[in-house]
Chain A
Amino acid sequence: MREVAILGVGQTKFGELWDRSFREIGIEAGLQALVDAKLSSADLNALFLGNMASGSLIDQEHIAPLILDYAGLGGRHLPAVRVEGGGASGALALHQGYLAVASGLYDYVVVGGAEKLTDVPDATASDITSSTADHEWEVVFGATLAGLWALIARRHMHDFGTTREELARVPVHDHAMGSKNPLAHFRNKLTLEQVLGAGAVAEPLGVLDCAPLSDGAAAVVLGPLEVARRHTDTPIRIAASQVACDTMALHHRKEVTTLESTVVAAQRAFTQARRAPRDVKVAEIHDAYSISALVALEDLGFVEKGRAGPAFASGQFAPGASLTVNPSGGLKAQGCPFGAVGVAQVVELVRQLRGEAKDRQVAGADLALAHDVGGTGATSVVHLLERAG
């Protein structure tokens, strides 16, 4: 297997992009990444595109060749593949792109993630995103993603004494981070009181505990590490790319407060990279709901099971700590265009590792972790990234 590097990154603004089409944002992110990698489209060998539900959201399937076509590459007959894994679609696409370059079959691939959630009414979008849980055994009985994560939150509070206030610290942190990110959906800061006072979505989770429905796209260009310096002074090596899956339905898990897919994907990733959680300086973790972030910190090995609430509230993951999480603002503040999320996490981490993250730069960032989840953890994807020596 060849070593794989990230040579270029690109991302659109996240938000309610009512005046922009799916193909437009997909192409914008991809072209930004190509320019950043100092590559022309003639150098490309393949496209992998992460997307959760374009058929339901914009009435368009078969979107990977669509993006190539509208990028002016229709006549080049490149392979283009759409990758779907619920909310983890983007990270899963990166995994596929990584395998393709690592295998030696392709040299240069673009990995994109794109989603347009605001072309359908909010209730429809909620139905569609909830279908990333088990439709037959969860959703038809009325469960939504928010409802299922609320069950996880309730149990976490019951088993470990996690408090409502500790949950609310997550969106406060995310919005503080997002306020420094020009691409973020939300750039307003939140107070603890605002989060606690917001209307309930699925108790204990309120409106401000939940990531928004966003539009957006992100892309990275991958290539062999051995030639990376031709394209960039700061190639970023993919030190690990791991995927793990679990039961679709929450009620089939041994414990609902642990996402075993995350535990296993993280263990595999640290083994592959020969590193440990304590080595990670900056991480983008799945925080679609405030409870998601706390569970992720535990399952990734950054804090003991059950202790994430107090640890987060004490500032253990804030800027200046040994590990800073979600400098982009996370899904909560940067935004949550499902299929784009996993790629956008990596875009942010590449900027952090290159030292290009401006006023949200995490000092000394040399090893970064990206964690993306589909549904309630039926799929977890963990990537470890580091500056190539």
Chain B
Amino acid sequence: MKAGIVSYGAYVPRYRITPKEIGRVWGSDGEAMGQGLNVYRKSVPSPDEDTITISTEALRTALVRGAIDPQQIGAVYVGSESHPYAVKPSATVVAQAVGATPNLTAADFEFACKAGTAAIQTCLGLVGAEMVRYGVAIGTDTSQGAPGDALEYSASAGGAAFVIGREHVICSVLRTLSYTTDTPDFWRREGQKYPSHGGRFTGEPAYFRHVTECAHQVMKASGTSAKDYQHVVFHQPNGKFPQRVGRQLGFSEAQMRYGLVTPFIGNTYSGAALIGLANVLDHAGPGERILMVGYGSGAGSDGFDLETTDEIARFDRSFGKPVQWYLDQGQELTYAVYAKFRGKIHMGED
């Protein structure tokens, strides 16, 4: 496949809250909850941040790093389940903000946590068919769990942008395929503020089945096995699921090291696997093979067999922050401030 990743950027809001602090408010053992989920902090967006601002921040970084002329972008797709508007695209705002308008196509994607990887696949098609020079795929979320719900301990904010092109490809896409079924494990209906989920049903028949099947199919089609990859990235709704699925598929801790970011920033939903991939690319040299398997509830997995090229050695990552910086830094909030930031406090008539 000629089209590949030519640049990328990630962004995670600066605020953090710990499961312990959340549990303190709800009378739960939040620390134990966090250990069970393998989530130690989760990111919290500022009141002036949303899917559009996070996407714009990540894309600006990517464009500078790749020295890409925004006017050469032919497509912008923003994948998220927390678009600020139900009707009015995020993608147009992002495209305008980076100076890519007006000669491009733009749209918002939604497929729970895998809208970003679906956007990458779409861009690969457009770029591969030479319909556009550059396609931009972004996965970003500012998702929330209902107050006191198990999801509240992990649902966080962040995103990553990937520019797909044919020239100066830093990471080739050797193969991508998807595994999709109608599996109602997690949903949010129009007008509902918080998502609903099927509890334990979100595990075996949903996440594990789709991720495992998709990973098997990618490796079977590529004639590879776990040992052929230097890195592996899974969708990471918590820190535990990807570790378990990784072990089941035969991957080591070392292979999962850079791809697993949720323990430090929480579950960024559409951004989760993509921030993990950005972290891998931050550390990778030429010729390193990467398996990435996203997952979106509802449900489906997108699998990618990737390999870094010699171009990555010349790629200038100096602009913007590396993912590790976001994993390390952060200002912790009390639940009260977190509740204010996330609009959980009723302010009377708007």
Within 8 Å of chain B (Cβ to Cβ): is A104? no
* Contact mask for chain A residues 108-129; partner B; CB cutoff 8 A; 1 contact, 0 none: 0000000000100110000000
Which of B29, B32, B198 has a CB less than 8 Å from the CB of A121?
B198
Within 8 Å of chain B (Cβ to Cβ): is A18? yes
The winner among B32, B196, B201, B205 for most chain A CB atoms within 10 A is B201
Assembled-state Cα–Cα distance A191/B201 (Å): 27
Which of A18, A122, A199 has a CB less than 8 Å from the CB of B32?
A199
* Contact mask for chain B residues 217-246; partner A; CB cutoff 8 A; 1 contact, 0 none: 000000000000000000000000000000
Assembled-state Cα–Cα distance A118/B29 (Å): 25
Give chain A nearest CB distance to B52 CB in angstroms.
32
Within 8 Å of chain B (Cβ to Cβ): is A16? yes
Assembled-state Cα–Cα distance A294/B326 (Å): 54
- Measured as residues with beta carbon below 8 angstroms from the partner, the interface class of chain A is under 10
Give chain B nearest CB distance to A68 CB in angstroms.
29
Assembled-state Cα–Cα distance A19/B184 (Å): 12
Assembled-state Cα–Cα distance A307/B203 (Å): 42
Q: B205 to A121, Cβ gap below 8 A? A: no
- Nearest residue (CB) in B for A199 is B32
* Contact mask for chain A residues 287-304; partner B; CB cutoff 8 A; 1 contact, 0 none: 000000000000000000
Q: B200 to A122, Cβ gap below 8 A? A: yes
Assembled-state Cα–Cα distance A16/B200 (Å): 9
The dominant DSSP class at the B interface is helix
8 Å CB interface, B239-272 against A: none
Q: A118 to B32, Cβ gap below 8 A? A: no
8 Å CB interface, A152-199 against B: 199
8 Å CB interface, A15-65 against B: 16, 18-19
Assembled-state Cα–Cα distance A199/B198 (Å): 22
Q: B201 to A118, Cβ gap below 8 A? A: yes
- Nearest residue (CB) in B for A121 is B199
- Nearest residue (CB) in A for B183 is A18
Assembled-state Cα–Cα distance A16/B197 (Å): 16
8 Å CB interface, A89-122 against B: 118, 121-122
Chain A residues with CB below 8 A from B205, complex form: 18-19
8 Å CB interface, B17-33 against A: 29, 32
8 Å CB interface, B198-218 against A: 198-201, 205
Give chain B nearest CB distance to A279 CB in angstroms.
42
Assembled-state Cα–Cα distance A18/B198 (Å): 11
Assembled-state Cα–Cα distance A47/B196 (Å): 38
Chain A residues with CB below 8 A from B196, complex form: 121
5 residue pairs of the A-B complex, CB under 8 angstroms, read A18-B205, A19-B205, A118-B200, A118-B201, A122-B200
- Known A118-B200, A121-B196; further 13 A-B contacts with Cβ < 8 A: A16-B200, A16-B201, A18-B201, A18-B205, A19-B205, A118-B201, A121-B197, A121-B198, A121-B199, A122-B199, A122-B200, A199-B29, A199-B32
By Cβ-Cβ distance, the 3 closest A-B pairs, closest first, are A122-B199, A121-B199, A18-B205
